[in-house]
Structure 1
Amino acid sequence: MAFITGSTLLDAIVLSVAAREGTYGYKITQDVRSVMEVSESTLYPVLRRLQKDGCLTTYDQAFAGRNRRYYKITPAGSQRLDETLAEWEEYKQKIDRVFYGGNET
């Protein structure tokens, strides 16, 4: 079963992958695909938007005779990721209460 995910969650997943280390687009795609179905044609606009928003920065590095574009999270991207993770945790707790029962807060 696949759950529909919005752009906020996709952004957070991409930022989380980029926060681990500077990495290139194809690797980000593979890491994101390990948790959700996404095509490269979907992911590259997300990378460009996050870069435009100041959440990611890029640099090129030679690899096998060609340049590979790497993405690295910025302080603004780390802040956005932290905020989204806090909101995610709150949302997840609400869903867990519905799924598994528990006290209302």
Structure 2
Amino acid sequence: MNPDLLRGNLELILLTILEDAPLYGFAIIQEARDRTNGYFEFKEGSLYPALHRLEQDGLLSAQAGETGRNGKPRKYYALTDAGRQALDAKRAEFARFTGAVGRLGKA
């Protein structure tokens, strides 16, 4: 996969994964992998900065949850109301974009 495609759509992907339920970092990685049959393989080095950026932008909230294997509480990320609105807007924008790309094909 072209990493530029992932970078350009990372927010949409993360907001979509978190749409139904709060998840912690590793669970987000697993969910992305499972839902896409391994197409999306997030690295922690790109995932956590994106999650923190979305939290700073008010699109995600974070809460400490159950303790992980390392003895530290896991940080669960959930969509805020603003995050749900952003997800709707990003989905609409992506649909317009992919529709326009599709119309570029041979007639």
Query: For this structure pair, what is the TM-score category when the shorter chain's length is used for normalisation?
Result: 0.7 to 0.9
Q: How many residues are paired up?
A: 100
Q: Which runs of 5+ in 1 are unaligned?
A: none
Moved more, 61-70 or 50-59: 61-70
> Partners in 2 of 1:51 and 1:80 — Cα distance?
13
1:55 is matched with which residue?
59
Aligned-residue offset at 1:6: 5.5
Q: CA RMSD in A?
A: 1.9
Aligned-residue offset at 1:100: 5.8
1:88 is matched with which residue?
94
1:10 is matched with which residue?
10
Aligned-residue identity in percent: 32
Aligned-residue offset at 1:67: 1.3
Alignment counterpart, residue 73 of structure 2, candidates 67, 70, 86: 67
Summarize deviations over 1:4-62 as a string: whole Å, max 9, x none: 22544101100111111011111112233444343111110000000000000011112
Give 1 or 2 for the bigger CA radius of gyration.
1
1:28 is matched with which residue?
28
- The answer to whether the 8 Å contact 2:29/2:41 transfers is no
- The answer to whether the 8 Å contact 2:64/2:75 transfers is yes
TM-score normalized by the length of structure 2: 0.81
Secondary structure in structure 2 of the residue aligned to 1:99: coil
Tell me which stretches of 4 or more aligned residues in structure 1 moved more than 6 Å: none
Alignment counterpart, residue 85 of structure 2, candidates 64, 67, 79: 79
> Partners in 2 of 1:6 and 1:24 — Cα distance?
20
> Partners in 1 of 2:41 and 2:66 — Cα distance?
29
Aligned-residue offset at 1:63: 3.5
Q: Which runs of 5+ in 2 are unaligned?
A: none
